[in-house]
Amino acid sequence: MTAVPIDHSGRRNHRPEPAERRTFAKVRRGSRLARRDWWGHFGWNQGRRLLLALRIHAEGLRKKGQRTGAWGTISFGAIRLAELLVAIAAKGRGRLEPSADWLAKALNVPAKSIHAWKGQLKAHGFLSWQRRYLETGKAGVRGPQVQQTTNAYWLAIPAEAEAAVSKRCGPRSAAGDKAEAMRRTDPKLADALATLEAEVHDDLAARAEAVDGESRQAPT
């Protein structure tokens, strides 16, 4: 039996990683080099509207008699996490990069709860993130050349939730007129929405004070 030679001319020549760079340090798949220009402006007004939209959306997901946090819903814990993230983003003008451990400590819960709540917010379009890494600055020296760092996060109001807020509260430009009209036609609903918005405002203020009192563990 005669062996048939294989033509390797079309293959790409993969050069092995230099010995000084092969440290087998773990960097999560899908990570990108950390940059400062990923975030847009995020203010308190956006944060208040996002939390209002989140609460209205969460109410619409729950069925009568269903426990909070059931599969496919948004738990109270996820809303607490969103409140904290909004406070950080609004204070940092959109920059949002806390570690899961810091969030767990701030909310006094296990880190696994933070990851579960993040998943709920992401599944419904209120939160997204990007894994990141940093260069260690040790080029040419044996040792890790990159290291994992905290995720970059973005908050957003999904179209369905924004529509629900506009339907119940009216467009932003005519908010005052809508509120007055609602008070005349359905005073109970108007009072309930006003109370909910006040609670959101108070929660944001409390979160902002908490953020001021502690230093974030995310790298600059």
In a domain, 19, yes or no: no
Tens digit of pLDDT for each residue in 112-163? Answer: 999 999 999 999 999 999 888 777 666 666 656 677 778 889 999 999 999 9
Binning pLDDT at 50, 70 and 90, where does residue 64 land?
confident
Residue 19: per-residue pLDDT: 47
Better-predicted residue by pLDDT, 61 or 84:
84
In a domain, 201, yes or no: yes
In a domain, 153, yes or no: yes
Closest CA to 194 of 10, 30, 52, 16: 52
Structure tokens at 163: 């529509």
In a domain, 185, yes or no: yes
CA distances, 69 to each of 62, 108, 114, 129, 156 (Å): 9, 18, 13, 22, 21
The whole-number average pLDDT for the span 158-177 is 74
The residue segments making up the domain with residue 116 are 25-212
In a domain, 18, yes or no: no
> Whole-angstrom Cα distance, residue 125 to residue 122?
5
In a domain, 10, yes or no: no
Contact between residue 202 and residue 50 where contact means Cβ atoms under 8 Å apart = no
Contact between residue 48 and residue 165 where contact means Cβ atoms under 8 Å apart = no
In a domain, 85, yes or no: yes
Which ranges constitute the DSSP H helices of the chain? 44-61, 76-91, 100-107, 111-123, 159-169, 175-185, 187-213
The whole-number average pLDDT for the span 30-46 is 70
In a domain, 145, yes or no: yes
Split into its structural domains, the chain has a count of 1
